[in-house]
A = this chain, B = another copy of it.
């Protein structure tokens, strides 16, 4: 695994999940594998779960870790090619990425979308720039369009709680007070589909997700019907693609409550967190045994650890190949 940006980098997903679950039982089995390897964790945006779990995962593997809030502690970055840099951003990504890449063996990066410039966001300009200007493997800690460490933790959580191989998984839009990225729901959809789940998505008209991510899912605007007999319900707000980045107006009745769920008596509730209580999901559901939200967050540690382990193994394979020649 020489990068981890989306489901396409996951390799054999079933094996990945099994190995992650094994780590949960035996966290320190590989504590020497990362010895002498350096992870740089770079944040353009806020982070709680991702930051704590990724740093801890890397240390569990013996890596050295350094965390930097790029905008707050270092310099604001310019991404435009050929920019005349007489504005507010004193450092170009070319130099920043080149320099950081020279210090670390693996780079972990978080960069949310602008939600104002669709082309830039969908091109993953920040990640591509880092990839272009450093030769080091890159681990996504959430990009403009995907959040694969979250999705892997979600798939692990479903694997732990599903009595059947092909559960009915519903991804339902929920109301919110702000315009949020599509990274988490799009990412979850493509991972859940790739995992072989029976995936259903429901949202008010006009809130379509990236069609590339949802190919293979049933899509509807009828929430009640879609939820029927669901095994897992993933709740999440996201903003519109057209007009791009706009928050949906209305839809307050899409909040997930006990009342809505009478037709899915055994459904488990999922959310990536942070969750707006009594806006996205009611207290009664979040505080009930139906809720898996803390399980998902706890699994973030193991999803990061298994991915870092795979990346370390690839690094070592390459080194061996090189020495072998």
By a CB distance below 8 angstroms, the chain B residues around A51 are 68, 73-74
Is residue A261 contacting chain B, with contact meaning CB distance below 8 A?
A: no
Q: Nearest-CB distance from A48 to chain B (Å)? A: 4
**Contact across chains for B85 and A273 when beta carbons are under 8 A apart:** no
Q: Which residues of B contact A72 (CB under 8 A)?
A: 72
Instruction: Quote the shortest CB–CB distance from A33 to chain B (angstroms).
Output: 16
Contact in complex: A56, B66 (CB < 8 Å): yes
Which chain B residues border A52 with CB–CB below 8 Å?
A: 40, 66, 68, 100, 103
- Copies per complex of this chain: 3
Residue among A59, A72, A102, A283 having the largest count of chain B Cβ atoms under 10 Å: A102
Is A276 a contact partner of B95 (Cβ separation < 8 A)?
no
Say which residue of B49, B91, B177 sits within 8 Å of A86 (CB atoms).
B177
Q: Contact residue range for chain A? A: 35 or more
Instruction: Judge whether A294 and B98 touch: CB under 8 Å.
Output: yes
Which residue in chain B gives the minimum CB-CB distance to A176? B86
Bitwise interface map of A from 33 to 67 toward B, beta carbon under 8 Å scored 1, else 0: 00010101001001111011101100100001010
Given A48-B96, A98-B297, A294-B98 in contact, is the A274-B73 Cβ separation under 8 Å? Answer: no
**Cα–Cα distance between A273 and B78 once the two chains are bound (Å):** 13
Which residues from B are CB-within-8-Å of A90?
Answer: 274, 276
Closest-by-CB residue of B relative to A87 is: B177
Q: Is the CB of A68 within 8 A of B86?
A: no
Question: Would A73 and B46 count as touching, CB distance under 8 A?
Answer: yes
A125 contacts chain B at the CB level, 8 A cutoff: no
Residues of B within 8 A of A235 (CB): none
| Contact status A48-B74, CB under 8 Å | yes
Question: Is A92 on the interface with B (CB-CB < 8 A)?
Answer: yes
Please state if A95 and B301 are interface contacts (CB–CB under 8 Å).
no
A193 interface residue (CB < 8 Å to B) = no
Say yes or no: B99 contacts A48, CB within 8 Å. Answer: yes
Q: Say yes or no: A75 contacts B53, CB within 8 Å.
A: no
CA A283 – CA B102 in complex, angstroms? Answer: 21
Q: Please, which residue of chain B has its CB at the minimum distance from the CB of A283?
A: B82
Residue A56 contacts which of B38, B78, B98, B287 (CB distance < 8 angstroms)?
A: B38
A28, B38: Cβ atoms closer than 8 Å: no
A97 to B133, CA, bound (A): 38
Say yes or no for A189: interface residue by CB 8 A criterion: no
- Give the B-binding residues of A (Cβ under 8 A): 28, 36, 38, 40, 43, 46-49, 51-53, 55-56, 59, 64, 66, 68-70, 72-75, 78, 82-86, 90-92, 94-96, 98-100, 102-103, 177, 273-279, 283, 286-287, 293-294, 297-298, 301
Contacts A84-B277, A94-B277, A103-B298 supplied; 9 other A-B pairs, CB < 8 Å = A46-B73, A48-B91, A48-B100, A55-B66, A82-B283, A85-B279, A91-B273, A99-B298, A102-B294
12 interchain pairs, CB-CB under 8 A: A78-B277, A82-B278, A83-B277, A83-B278, A84-B279, A85-B278, A86-B279, A94-B277, A94-B286, A96-B274, A102-B301, A103-B298
